[in-house]
Amino acid sequence: MSSDKIYKPIKESRGWYFVEYHTPVVDCKFATLNLVIINKADITDIVNAMEKELYDWVNHYPIPLFVTAFDEKGDCYDLSAIKSCNHLMGYIDQDGKINLSWRLLSHNEIPDIALNREYVDNLYTNLDFKTYTDLEVDRRKRRQKLKIGWYIFSAWSVITILIALVIAFLDYFSAFVSLIALIYSIYKAIQKFLELTGRWPKSKKTKEKEYEEQLKDHYYYHCQMNPEGFNRLKLENFEKIARNNIKKEAESIKAEDERKCNHDL
C-alpha cells in the first residue's frame, strides 16, 4: 500500500551533541540519523555514541538506519583512524538481533521492510506529517500568488507604456525627441503584447529553465533504469543535504539548551 505522508524529523539534544532522525522517504529502504557534535569530542566517543544511538533508534523504530556524525560546520567526521567507513548502518535481522555494519550496505543487503508504507505509517503514528497533496496545494497557492502578481505587473506596465505613448503622440510635432519617444513607446508596447501572447523570442533565462526541466526528466529516466546506481547516489547525497542547514540547527539547539539552563537557574 502506498503512502504520501512526509514526516517531520525528530530532533533531540544529548548535551555535547544532538540527533536528527529522518523517516525513510518513499522507495528508500532506510531511515537516517545525523549526530551533530556541538562540543569537541574524541573520535572514540563519537563512534560509541553513533553505535548507541543506532541501537536505541532501531529498537524504538524497527527500520534499517543510516547514521552519520557531523561537526558544527556540517562537515562529516573523519573516523578512518579507528573505522573503515565514516557511516554506520544497521537493521534487525531474521533472528531479531541488530546487525551493525561500519560500511555502506548494498541495496540487496538491506531488508525491504521500509518499502511497506502501511507498516511505516503504523510505525510513525506519533509523528507530525504533511502529505504530498498538502505540499502541492501550498505550491499551487504560491504559484497563483506569483501569477496574479505577474498579471498585475504586466497590466500596469502596459498601461504605463500606453500613457507614455499618448504623451509622445501628443508631443509628436513639437520636437525630434518626441518622435524618438513615440517610436520607443510603440516598440515597448508591441514587445509587451508579444510577451503576453507568447510570441516574443524566449530569453536566455527562460531557455535555461526549460533546459533544466529537460535535464530533470532525463535524470529521472535513468534513475528508473538503474535503481541500484540511484540508491548509491542517494547515500552520497544524504551527507551533502545535511550540510546545508546543519550549522543553523546546531546554533538553535545550543541556544535552546542555554535558555533552559538560564531558566533553571
Average pLDDT score over the chain: 78
Query: What residues have CB less than 8 Å from 261, skipping those under 6 apart?
Result: none
Q: Grade residue 1 by pLDDT with cuts at 50, 70 and 90.
A: very low
**Residue 140: is its pLDDT beyond 80?**
no
* Percent of the chain clearing pLDDT 70 (strictly above): 57
Q: Residue for cell digits 546543519?
A: 246
pLDDT of residue 60: 96
Record the pTM: 0.55
DSSP result, 175-237: -HHHHHHHHHHHHHHHHHHHHHTT-SPPPHHHHHHHHHHHHHHHHHHHHHH-HHHHHHHHHHH
pLDDT 10s digits, 218-250: 666 566 566 666 666 766 676 666 556 566 666
Report strand pairing: 65-70 vs 31-37: parallel
Domain map (residue ranges) of the chain: 5-130, 134-200
At 146-187, the pLDDT tens digits run 666 666 666 666 676 666 666 655 555 556 566 677 677 777
